[in-house]
Amino acid sequence: MGSPTLEKIRSEALNLPESERAELAHSLVISLEGPADADAESAWDVEILRRLAEIDSGTARLIDREEFRRRMRAGMIRS
């Protein structure tokens, strides 16, 4: 199992409301990932703007929700 301290924390955490458990779990996972990539946010901003420009210009190939679901079930799109 774990140390007495870990068991006490685990027991108390499991008694929290679901939303607070989710917030705690998220914080713990983030703490394991190390420092954030300083360039990631700006790279995503550039990518989002590129994709929006494709949609606005009509060059993007869009699919509807049902087609997306079909492709997910078929394993054609990975989450």
Q: pTM of the prediction?
A: 0.46
Percent of the chain's residues with pLDDT above 70: 96
Q: Write the pLDDT tens digit of every residue in 3-35.
A: 999 999 999 999 999 999 999 999 999 899 888
Domain residue spans of the chain = 1-34, 40-73
Tokens of 12: 């108390």
Q: Which of 2-16, 35-49, 65-79 has the highest mean pLDDT?
A: 2-16
65 or 1, greater pLDDT: 65
Angle, helices 18-32/4-14, rounded to nearest 10 degrees: 140
**If you search the block for the tokens 């954030």, which residue do you land on?**
36
Task: Give the pLDDT confidence score for residue 79 in this predicted structure.
Answer: 57
What Å distances lie between residue 66 and 12, 59, 69, CA to CA? 42, 21, 5
Within 8 A by CB and 6+ apart from 16, the residues are 24
- Residues 79 and 72: beta-carbon distance below 8 Å: yes
